[in-house]
Every structure is written in C-alpha cells, then in structure tokens.
Structure 1
C-alpha cells in the first residue's frame, strides 16, 4: 500500500514552474503509475490544501551519448496541481 509520501517524489523548481505559482499552480514529480485522484489526495494530505485540478504528463527520457556508448535518461511523470481560490498556498514554494 502506498502512502502520500510515496506518491509525491519531489517538487520541481524551475523558472517556468516558479512563474506558475502566482496562478496557484505547483509542479511535482510523482510516481510513474499514480493517477490523478491519488495525486490529488496526496497533495491535500501532505500540504493541507484544497486541489481544484490536476494535470499530468509523462516525460520521456532523452538520448545521451558518452563517447561510443549511448543510452537514455530515465522517464518520469510530472503533475501540475492547481489549488482552489480559498485554499492556502504551499509554504515550500514561498521562499524560492
């Protein structure tokens, strides 16, 4: 059985994701086989907020070469979570 802390792997802190925090959208790397309802419950439980909408996308690994050998970086899943208007913000992203 998965807990909420297993579903959310880490927050994604990039320039684009930090610009979206003004629209109450927060970006996380999540478990590859987690669905939208599991992500919604995990974010609400861990951060104590109300989630309005969850968008997910699968990020494919990129082809990388090192001399003669080549391989792919790992594939992962990204979730963009939008909070309701009456919900509080996530404090982790406030100091960035």
Structure 2
C-alpha cells in the first residue's frame, strides 16, 4: 500500500489538539487495512519526521437508532495516534 493511500486525513478535534500540544502526538484517520508499520512509514515519508510509536484504534460499524427504531448506519473507521520524536513537529495550518 502506498503512503498516500494509508493516511486518509488528519483528525482535528479537541482531544487531538491537546495531545499535539502536551504529548507531541498527532492523530489521523487511516485506511482500514493499514497496520502500525504502514502508518509509521507513511507519516515518515509524507511529513519527513521521525516516528517513535503508533497506536491504532479500530471502531466497528454501528446502527443509528431513534426511539427504538433503526434509522441508519454509522460506518466503521480506523484511527492512528502517532507519537513523534522530541523536537519533531507537523503543522496542518501553517499559513493560517
């Protein structure tokens, strides 16, 4: 799998920005077939940084219910929390 196929998009949320500031970690939505090694290689190739650790969280698909009735489906996804080496940094909003 190529580096551009592994990383789908960065995860921008309150939790991920807090992890970025305090723990030097960055979160990404990744391809469902990607593993830790694929994610590490993709981040190192795309952003030219040194990765120390990768943690992956897999969310299963769920049904959306309203008043006890099934009204839709929430698709499953996979997230990766990437720990960067000391002094390394990834800026998503550099010029803003």
State TM-score, norm by structure 2: 0.85
Is the Cα–Cα contact under 8 Å of residues 63 and 70 in structure 2 kept in the other structure?
A: no
What is the root-mean-square deviation in Å for CA atoms of aligned residues?
2.1
- Segments of 5+ residues of structure 1 without an aligned counterpart are none
Which moved further from structure 2: 58-67 or 12-21? Answer: 58-67
Q: Map Cα deviations across residues 9-51 of structure 1 (whole Å, 9 max, x no partner).
A: 0111011111000111000000111110010000000111000
The Cα of 1:91 is off from its aligned counterpart by 1.5
The Cα of 1:3 is off from its aligned counterpart by 1.3
**Would you say 1:26 and 2:26 are equivalent positions?**
yes
Is the Cα–Cα contact under 8 Å of residues 7 and 31 in structure 2 kept in the other structure?
A: yes
State TM-score, norm by structure 1: 0.85
**Would you say 1:47 and 2:47 are equivalent positions?**
yes
- Segments of 5+ residues of structure 2 without an aligned counterpart are none
- Judged with a 3 Å threshold, the aligned counterparts in structure 2 of structure 1 residues 3 and 37 are, in CA distance, closer, same or farther, namely same
- Corresponding pairs, count: 94
Which residue of the partner structure matches residue 75 of structure 2? 74
